[in-house]
């Protein structure tokens, strides 16, 4: 279906050496896009790129730290000048830190905010400046079910993902008139490296299966369709939307 065809477009996916970012990069490539993987660990990034190339996928890499505004700007501007335009941005880089709020270290709070919120602003702004000049572009931020819900021990993460959701709305409000579509995907509980400790906890998994109408953890491949949709012409009039992909957990008490 032509509406979902991403051929001829290049997608930058931050934090894409593993987990959700890697799955989304692979999915966008399968929809026709060429993909640019990003991480700050060059060796791990090279390994992920080789895995995709082994599957016949056209892939480039861009090593930079998403929490360093100057490094982000230099990397994006350099890529645009030397290699080509970025048509799609998926702001996926993120981290988690689980500690009771009354004991949460200040430095961990700052690091979490820089990684989850500042990075979306830094990379989003750097890429959008080029997209605005072309009058077109797609930005997809990865929010979370914690944009709407909270659990003990992750209050700062909840705050950060609420900020990502509202930043997405702000991006749409400022940039839609320039031809950009800015939306977010809010995953529920997925089996990823970030959630490895929870997946390995039988008590938590049992709670989650009861709490989620779908009755199970999500698989990262189940996020791909939502991402392709938001990056495609099928979503040409979708802007500032947060799409929950959560097995129904936010729909039920």
pLDDT in tens, the chain (253 residues): 799 999 999 999 999 999 999 999 999 999 999 999 999 999 999 999 999 999 999 999 999 999 999 999 999 999 999 999 999 999 999 999 999 999 999 999 999 999 999 999 999 999 999 999 999 999 999 999 999 999 999 999 999 999 999 999 999 999 999 999 999 999 999 998 888 889 999 999 999 999 999 999 999 999 999 999 999 999 999 999 999 999 999 999 8
CB 142 within 8 A of CB 185: yes
Nearest to 113 by CA among 167, 75, 49: 167
From the centroid of its chain, how far is CA 94?
A: 8
CB 145 within 8 A of CB 186: yes
Where does residue 151 fall: left (phi above 0), alpha (psi -120 to 50 degrees), or beta otherwise? beta
Tokens describing residue 5: 């065809």
Which pTM does this prediction carry? Answer: 0.96
Q: Integer distance in angstroms from the first to the last C-alpha of the chain?
A: 37
Catalytic option among 22, 122, 157, 189: 157
| pLDDT tens digits, 22-81 | 999 999 999 999 999 999 999 999 999 999 999 999 999 999 999 999 999 999 999 999
Tokens describing residue 156: 């700062």
pLDDT of residue 153: 96
CA distance 113 to 115: 5
Q: Is CATH 3.40.50.720 the right assignment for the domain spanning 2-251? A: yes
CB 158 within 8 A of CB 150: yes
Nearest to 116 by CA among 220, 14, 224: 14
CB 35 within 8 A of CB 11: yes
pLDDT of residue 217: 97
pLDDT of residue 251: 96
CB 233 within 8 A of CB 32: no
- Specify the pairing of strand 137-142 against strand 88-91: parallel
CA distance 33 to 86: 11
157 is catalytic: yes
CA distance 53 to 26: 10
Greatest distance between any 2 Cα atoms in the chain: 52
From the centroid of its chain, how far is CA 138?
A: 13
Tokens describing residue 213: 């109408």
Nearest to 12 by CA among 121, 117, 88, 94: 88
CA distance 69 to 72: 5
CB 90 within 8 A of CB 187: no
């Amino acid at each position: 279906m032509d509406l979902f065809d991403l051929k001829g477009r290049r997608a930058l996916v931050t934090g894409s050496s593993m987990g959700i970012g890697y799955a989304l990069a692979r999915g966008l490539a399968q929809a026709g896009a060429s993909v640019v993987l990003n991480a700050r660990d060059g060796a791990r990034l090279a390994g992920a790129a080789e895995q995709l190339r082994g599957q016949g996928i056209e892939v480039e890499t861009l090593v930079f730290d998403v929490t360093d505004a100057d490094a982000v700007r230099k990397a994006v501007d350099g890529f645009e000048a030397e290699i080509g335009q970025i048509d799609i941005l998926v702001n996926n880089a993120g981290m988690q830190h689980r500690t009771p709020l009354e004991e949460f270290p200040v430095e961990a709070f700052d690091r979490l905010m820089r990684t989850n919120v500042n990075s979306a602003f830094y990379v989003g702004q750097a890429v959008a400046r080029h997209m605005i000049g072309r009058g077109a572009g797609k930005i997809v931020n990865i929010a979370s079910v914690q944009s709407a819900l909270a659990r003990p021990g992750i209050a700062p993460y909840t705050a950060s993902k609420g900020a990502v959701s509202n930043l997405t709305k702000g991006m749409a409000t400022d940039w839609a008139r320039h031809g950009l579509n800015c939306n977010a995907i809010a995953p529920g509980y997925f089996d990823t490296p970030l959630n490895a400790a929870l997946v390995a906890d039988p008590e938590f998994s049992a709670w989650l299966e009861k709490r989620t109408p779908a009755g199970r953890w999500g698989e990262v491949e189940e996020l791909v369709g939502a991402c392709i949709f938001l990056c495609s012409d099928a979503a040409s009039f979708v802007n500032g939307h947060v799409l929950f992909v959560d097995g129904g957990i936010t729909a039920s008490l």
